[in-house]
Amino acid sequence: MSSSDGGKSWKNIALSGEVDFHTLETVGDEIYGADSGSGQLMYSSDAGKSWVKRGANTFSDIALNPKGKGSVLAIKDGKLHRSTNALKSSKQIDLPFQIGSIDWIDGSLIAAAGKDLYQSSNAGTTWKKLASLPASIGIITQSSQLIAVVVGGAIYASTNKGKTFKKYQSK
């Protein structure tokens, strides 16, 4: 489904009632989705009008390259995998740490490894440690102004590209 008015109304695009996407990642017209019913990883290159199955979803998180169609980094069993063909196939990238979560926007690729947050400026080829949080990082997300991470029952946010983080505790 798609909304062009901030969610006030919705238009059916495809697969309504056929799949239950619990994970969706998108950049431009590309969409990757994990169907919780069938366990399939699915891909659309045309904004969701048509879909192809990529096999059983074995990835815990994926991040789409905002500058390259079909270019994806994905996490499988803590290992980083690179695909340049929209996850038809992938190749493991050797890293000195295990990755739990990853996020990619134009100009910033970040990954969580335990309580450490890493950043790459070259599509995941090399990494530098950005910050260490008090405990293991769960989910990460970012925009051009904010990096947010979930650590236990708290959210830590940085407005200075990861130099410092402020804790926001749920009440």
Q: How far is the C-alpha of 100 from the C-alpha of 133, rounded, in Å?
A: 14
**Does residue 84 contact residue 70 with C-beta atoms inside 8 Å?**
yes
In angstroms, what CA-CA distances link 163 with 54, 98, 107, 119, 147?
38, 22, 16, 12, 10
pLDDT tens track for 119-162: 999 888 899 999 999 999 999 999 989 999 999 889 999 999 99
Q: How far is the C-alpha of 38 from the C-alpha of 135, rounded, in Å?
A: 34
pLDDT tens track for 28-66: 999 999 999 999 999 999 999 999 999 999 999 999 999
**Does residue 121 contact residue 127 with C-beta atoms inside 8 Å?**
no
Q: Of 3.40.50.920, 1.10.3720.10, 3.40.50.300, 2.120.10.30, which CATH number belongs to 58-169?
A: 2.120.10.30
pLDDT tens track for 69-94: 999 999 999 999 999 999 999 999 99
**Does residue 154 contact residue 135 with C-beta atoms inside 8 Å?**
no
Domain boundaries, the chain: 58-169
